Amino acid sequence: MSEQAGLGPRRLAWMAVTETLKRRVPLDDVMEELSRAENLSARDEALARAIAIVTFRRLGTLGHALRERLNKPPKDERLMHLLAIGAAQILFLDVPDHAAVDSAVELAQGDPKLHHAGGFINAVLRRVAREREQILAENDPWLDTPTWLEERWITQYGEPLATRIAEAHRSLASVDLTVKGEPEAWAERLGGVLLPTGSIRLKERTAIRELPGFEDGEWWVQDAAAALPARLLQAKPGEHIADLCAAPGGKTAQLAAAGAEVLAVDRSAKRLERLEENLARLKLKAETRALDAEKLDAEPFDAILLDAPCSATGTIRRHPDVAWTKSEEDIRKLSGLQARLLDKAATLLKPGGRLVYCTCSLEAEEGERQAEAFLARHPAFTRKPITSDEIGGLTECITPQGDLRTLPSQLAVTEHDRSGLDGFFVARFVHKGSSTG
């Protein structure tokens, strides 16, 4: 007997939310693992991903709404996760209420440990549907941010700006493209908006592979903020440049497109394979090396781009699971790794060489403090301040020290609802020794 239509993607979303929270690993990795076993169509996989992402984006709101409507929250976390994905569909997705409720009931009835909970799930989710307007009216933006992040951001940015960051995280992330050339023409052809930074922002969400120029390798998907570090390196044709921690390869592509001879280093051979596939589509070339960047032994480079592993709290708009799977301990460990990678990069530069350090983090330990500590440890280096004309006039993104700090609440676009930037920190350093030419 065939199962109810739409059950497969909802089962996948439920399993993905449960496994992501249990293992504290990225949702994307869990979805990739689980989707192989489910054998769903591309459309059903997209539905599963949409349900899982909105569940994480509004996890605090969902938990609050469910707890308010339960006499006693169930001890089984999987049951709470099933209620959460059901409520997410009712409150935040264009899904008929009955489809969300009936599928959750059927999933429970097919589960050996939850088969008895069908009536309970039915009652709770129907109440959520009835009280939808009341739930959505409780519009506290901090509901969807873990307390430890709320406290950090208020301390670092002040309450008004921190609140705008939290609000931005509740919105759908934009889709931005980096083009090889002719950005104005491609923006018009793709029906996008040319941002002041040079990226193209799509107005509508669509199948990326079906857009003009994809098969011909004319552009690639890359958040507007993520495109800035490689531009700030100012790569020149023929320069020998290292891209450390390079996968998935958007920055490598930018450097190669500028005519540089690029060595792309990443410790993950699997991620490097994807980088190589992306470069092949884009008809760009770079040498790749599967290696821990701390162990790289190479001739000195003209320039180095270090996009260091970090907590990724700047990508919560795009990857909302980050807020619920990372901890302050992760930030402590990763900041130590970042310092070691910076020290290594300092040994690999020619005199006069340039080093751009960046992280997709909102945390000072992975950004501003890291830059100051590097300069204190390495007196042979000096900061090369970033200027507003290099980033499309976005003066508000430049720190008093001359570094770049982008925030999810910045770059509001009035023409459509795809505003914001990933949160990035970028610092640019120069080796003070005279260049060898």
Which residues have a catalytic role annotated?
A: 360
Rounded Cα distance between 293 and 434, Å, is: 26
Q: Would you say 414 and 393 are in contact if contact means Cβ atoms under 8 Å apart? A: no
Task: Say how many C-beta atoms besides its own lie within 10 A of residue 373's C-beta.
Answer: 15
In the block, residue with structure tokens 């935040």: 92
Rounded Cα distance between 330 and 154, Å, is: 19
Rounded Cα distance between 61 and 138, Å, is: 9
Task: Say how many C-beta atoms besides its own lie within 10 A of residue 312's C-beta.
Answer: 25
Task: Say how many C-beta atoms besides its own lie within 10 A of residue 377's C-beta.
Answer: 12
Task: Say how many C-beta atoms besides its own lie within 10 A of residue 58's C-beta.
Answer: 22
Rounded Cα distance between 153 and 363, Å, is: 8
Longest dimension (CA), the chain: 76
Distances from the Cα of 420 to the Cα of 15, 50, 174, 195, 426, angstroms: 30, 20, 7, 11, 17
